[in-house]
């Protein structure tokens, strides 16, 4: 797979993802605070969450939200934009030495991450059909898995090279 951006775009990509996490956290502040309060008053219930009946999907009308629906949507959209842009920048950035062996590892990682994301999607759908994992979130999941798999493959391949080094 060809990469087109210089190596420093990797750092920019990581920065974008950090920004995305911050925006996502701010956007979900009502959900977090509600869950936090309910965990004290009612205790957590993992089974209800898996069945899609968690408090997150059914907001408590007694708790005043900090954000309006429009503001919430705006934060989530910004978060998604930064997240996907960040991962795409990471995907298309060169390594310090970007040769065909790295391209081979990259291609292998893309294939593995595609399979892993399908598997995760299937498992999630089997456990609960109420879970929201559609459209752009699948793309985001694939990109996240790709970054993890690529780093893992690179570390494994390169650490084996270090051990087996015979100059």
Partner 1 sequence: MKNYLKVERAKKDITQATLAEKIGVSRQTINAIEKGKFIPSTLLALKMARYFETAVGDIFELEEGE
Q: Site residues (CB under 8 A) for partner 1?
A: 97, 99-102, 104, 157-158, 161, 164-165, 167
Residue 101 Cβ vs partner 1, minimum distance, rounded to whole Å = 4
Query: Which residues have a Cβ under 8 Å from the Cβ of 150 and sit 6 or more positions away?
Result: 105, 106, 109, 113
Query: Nearer Cβ to partner 1, position 101 or 118?
Result: 101
Minimum gap (Å) between residue 14 Cβ and partner 1: 22
Nearer to partner 1, 97 or 126 (CB): 97
Token pair 């960040």 in the structure block, residue: 86
Q: How far is the CB of 95 from partner 1 (least distance, A)?
A: 8
Alpha carbons 24 and 31: distance in angstroms, whole number: 11
Could you tell me the smallest distance in angstroms from the CB atom of residue 62 to partner 1? 59
- Does residue 43 come out as left (phi exceeding 0), alpha (psi in the -120 to 50 range) or beta? left
Please identify, using beta-carbon distances, which residue of 101 and 137 lies nearer to partner 1.
Answer: 101
Toward partner 1, which CB reaches closer, 24 or 153?
A: 153
Scanning the structure block, which residue is given the tokens 């997240």?
83
Tokens 């294939």 belong to residue: 111
């Amino acid at each position: 797979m060809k990469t087109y951006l210089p190596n420093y775009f990797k750092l920019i990509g990581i920065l974008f993802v950090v920004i995305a996490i911050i925006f996502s956290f701010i956007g979900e502040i009502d959900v977090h605070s509600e869950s936090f309060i309910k965990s004290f008053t009612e205790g957590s219930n993992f089974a209800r969450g898996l069945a899609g009946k968690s408090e997150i999907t059914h907001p408590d009308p007694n708790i005043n939200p900090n954000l309006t629906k429009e503001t919430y949507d705006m934060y989530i959209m910004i978060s998604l934009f930064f997240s996907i842009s960040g991962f795409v920048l990471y995907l298309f950035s060169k390594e310090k030495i970007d040769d065909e062996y790295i391209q081979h590892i990259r291609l292998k990682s893309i294939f593995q991450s595609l399979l892993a994301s399908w598997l995760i999607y299937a498992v999630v759908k089997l456990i609960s059909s109420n879970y929201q994992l559609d459209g752009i979130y699948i793309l985001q999941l694939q990109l996240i898995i790709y970054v993890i798999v690529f780093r893992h493959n690179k570390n494994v391949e390169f650490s084996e090279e270090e051990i087996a080094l015979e100059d």
